[in-house]
Chain A
Amino acid sequence: MDHRTWRFLVKNRVKEGRLIRIAVVNTQVPFIKGGAELHASNLCAALEQHGHDVVKVLIPFKWYPGSTLVDNIMAARLLDLSESTGTKIDMMVGLRFPAYLAQHPNKVFWIIHQHRAAYDLWDSGHSDLLHQPDGSSLRELIREEDRNAFRKTPYKIYANSQNVTKRLQKYTQQPSTPLYHPPPNHKLLRQGQFGDYLFVPSRLTPGKRQDLILEGLAQTRGPVRIVFAGAPDTQSYFDYLRQKAGDLGIEDRITWLGEISDTELIKYYANARAVIFVPQDEDYGYITLEAMLSGKPVITSTDSGGPLEFIRHKREGLVSKPTPKDLAQNFSHIMQDQSLAETMGAAAHERYESMNINWAHVVNTLTGRDNG
């Protein structure tokens, strides 16, 4: 059966309200929990809520040394997900490299991100491949695998944000369509008071640049307090942050909550003055959306990627240069002017509501109901 016939039959079944079997295929770095993992889980839940039979297929991923990266790519590529125990799997949704290389005749890409070490991180000098003798070849392997996989699909390719769409276009000349989805607690997030702290909810990891936030805090004037929530990826990075806070003399203005429950997370969002989110070129970033749903302005950075699709300077938040000085000014500004925080927070909430960010739209788009 060719792609078109397969797709036609699946669409008809969707239109008739009949159940289809869908494999949501994602990469899993063992013991790492972040936005991408939530993304896959919530997609599965949404598809099930819309009446489909869903399985989440997680393929473990290790990208070092280079030979293991190659083995992982080959392993993913060799997986055949077209059926299980003699029953056809109607559709596969591929989310991340290399898991989305698995074989299926009716594969829809909804790309969270490519393997960035072969793309933007290579260009920015942050790719681990740059320091491996065979790094150039590995980079080409990854790029060719992506190109070949995208070439084979007759369907539109979806990306989880405009930022990912731009990268796909820039590095593989692959057109794609951004398809936004709600953050995990979208139905529970609520608006509260505009408190006396700035909230930083995120895994503690270099890419989220908590160290830059600390440097910014050290340059603020006036009483600025920051609450960090999130588990560290590695103990060494957490030690580094605490050491830095100590060296900067700002320990008494910081609270480290660590990993907190969803209930606590919602509370901290609801009562913050604003949310700080300054990652380096984030793909999407739930934190932005969660802040918007909580009616909070977001302080982000000009190089943060995903958040900039939602936050405009002095409208839904403040967009800083990625420098301690500029961040410090914006931290102080928003702490000194609660009215500004309230205005921008309301605008952020309104903007979210206007963007058709809901799971029904995602499910209908991926299964073909919304795209003809």
Chain B
Amino acid sequence: MRSDEPHIHWVSPLPPAETDIAHYTHRILPELTERADITLWTDAPSWYPKLTKYCPVRHLYPGEISPSDMRDNSKGSAGGDVMFVHMGNSGIFHAGFLKMVRRIPTIVVLHDLALQEMYFYAVSKGLMELDGYLDEIEQWYGEAGRREALLSRDGKIPAYELSQRLPGFEVLMKNAVAIVTHTSASHAAVTERSFVPAYQLELPYRARTTASSERSISGPLRLMQFGYIGQNRRLKEIIQALADLGPDFDFVFDICGKLGDPEKIKLHCEQLGLTDKINLHGFVPEPQLDAMLEEVHLVFNLRNPTMGEASGSQLRIWDAAAASVVTDDGWYGDIPEEAVFRIPKENEVSSLKILLRQISQDRHAAMSKGNKGREQLIAKHDPETYADGIVQVAHNFSRDAHDAVLANAARRVLAGNHAQADLLRDRLSTLF
């Protein structure tokens, strides 16, 4: 590594945290550490000790950390210290980081545009002032937005509904030097705001050396869903579709992960007479999960609604060369046709029934999708390309930080008049 390479401070949930962002960080560490000087930071009390074989891991105090804590006394700093902070919608994993990104100018890696649940969690834990949150929501969404946010915070509008109209990612832009996203939809949303530089990188996944899309051609159809399974994963609709296909439709449906309301789902299965065909596993170890994916004929990976974010789960499915069905929206809408099955947001139950019948009659069609999906993974999501992209963003930090500081100064000078501030920023960019 050259002496003027930037030192990258990677602020992220880390394994064993049960979030795909932790796995993502773990996955790309070999490539990242080959290309840059990396220090991992997290506010969790512990992490897998094996991470330290790649680079140092340090505990983060988001409300206190300053550049002096990040400086490496043993090295020169010609390349500077660049902080990448990973933000998602889980308050448990990201509310602490929120406090940090509001204090320190950083590069924010936006894993989700819809962040209202995380903000409410942060407010409830005293990591963000309610008034500050509402002021910023008002800045981006007007007084009506402020009223809606307040209603939602008081439980009168579900947070996920609020997120559909007011995703809230803009709050993270205020102090950001740049934003990294993983989908074209997210990238477009950020660039539309014209507030900070935005970079798009394809979410990385290390493909295993070999994987086969071959699946059993007899016996019950093996179906699966996994991950954090909230309302937008459409589990209820999936179960309804399976019930509608009747008792003769031969299948086994394995559900791995965390359900929003498992008791309700169990009751629903009982009422529809599907208890014997649907297995609730809870979280399973990753090797077991991968082994199950290698046998499955179809994975349900629906997102309705979606804010356009990329899915680490989808990459895992492709890695196993498994077929999957997704919602025709957001990032999933951009995936090549041959790599997934797609259903529209409307009439999900009937669309699923048609698809399930089709696969039960022609399992090879599903295997073909699995094969193409794996090709897509290898072509577009390799960690080396991603790590190169991160290093390039880090190299741009000096220039981006320069512009961000001046833009913020312009906004400060013209506080309260953002349109004028943007004009001034444009003027400044020509001068500076």
Q: What residues on A are CB-neighbors of B77 within 8 Å?
A: 122-123
Asked if residues A134 and B105 are in contact (CB atoms below 8 Å), the reply is yes
The verdict on A74 contacting B409 (CB below 8 Å), with A135-B66, A143-B398 known, is: yes
Inter-chain CA distance A122–B432, complex, in Å, is 24
Q: What residues on B are CB-neighbors of A135 within 8 Å?
A: 66-68
Interface residues of B in 240-293 (CB under 8 A from A): none
**Nearest CB in chain B to that of A134: its residue:** B105
Inter-chain CA distance A77–B430, complex, in Å, is 12
**Nearest CB in chain B to that of A70: its residue:** B409
A125 interfacial by beta-carbon distance below 8 Å? yes
Q: Which one of B66, B78, B398 lies within 8 Å of A133 (CB-CB)?
A: B66
Asked if residues A134 and B68 are in contact (CB atoms below 8 Å), the reply is no
A356 interfacial by beta-carbon distance below 8 Å? no
Asked if residues B80 and A139 are in contact (CB atoms below 8 Å), the reply is yes
**Nearest CB in chain A to that of B397: its residue:** A140
Asked if residues B71 and A130 are in contact (CB atoms below 8 Å), the reply is yes
Q: Which one of A74, A125, A134 lies within 8 Å of B104 (CB-CB)?
A: A134
Interface residues of B in 68-108 (CB under 8 A from A): 68, 70-71, 73, 76-78, 80-83, 103-105
Asked if residues A132 and B406 are in contact (CB atoms below 8 Å), the reply is no
A170 interfacial by beta-carbon distance below 8 Å? yes
Interface residues of B in 24-70 (CB under 8 A from A): 66-68, 70
Nearest chain B CB to A232's CB is how many angstroms away? 27
Asked if residues B402 and A136 are in contact (CB atoms below 8 Å), the reply is no
Interface residues of A in 122-153 (CB under 8 A from B): 122-123, 125, 129-141, 143-145, 148
Interface residues of A in 160-203 (CB under 8 A from B): 170-171, 173
Total interface residues on B, using CB and 8 Å?
31
Inter-chain CA distance A134–B405, complex, in Å, is 9
B399 interfacial by beta-carbon distance below 8 Å? yes
Q: How many A-B residue pairs have CB under 8 A?
A: 81
The verdict on A125 contacting B401 (CB below 8 Å), with A70-B406, A134-B104, A136-B81 known, is: no
Q: What residues on B are CB-neighbors of A9 within 8 Å?
A: none
A350 interfacial by beta-carbon distance below 8 Å? no
Q: What residues on B are CB-neighbors of A370 within 8 Å?
A: none
Nearest chain A CB to B4's CB is how many angstroms away? 8
The verdict on A130 contacting B81 (CB below 8 Å), with A67-B412, A125-B73, A144-B398 known, is: no
Inter-chain CA distance A341–B409, complex, in Å, is 56
B404 interfacial by beta-carbon distance below 8 Å? yes
B431 interfacial by beta-carbon distance below 8 Å? yes
Q: What residues on B are CB-neighbors of A137 within 8 Å?
A: 105, 177, 401, 404-405
A-B contact pairs, 28 of them (CB 8 A): A71-B409, A74-B409, A78-B431, A125-B68, A130-B66, A130-B67, A130-B68, A130-B71, A131-B67, A131-B68, A133-B66, A133-B103, A136-B80, A136-B81, A136-B82, A136-B83, A136-B104, A137-B105, A137-B177, A138-B405, A139-B67, A140-B398, A140-B399, A140-B401, A140-B405, A144-B402, A145-B432, A171-B78
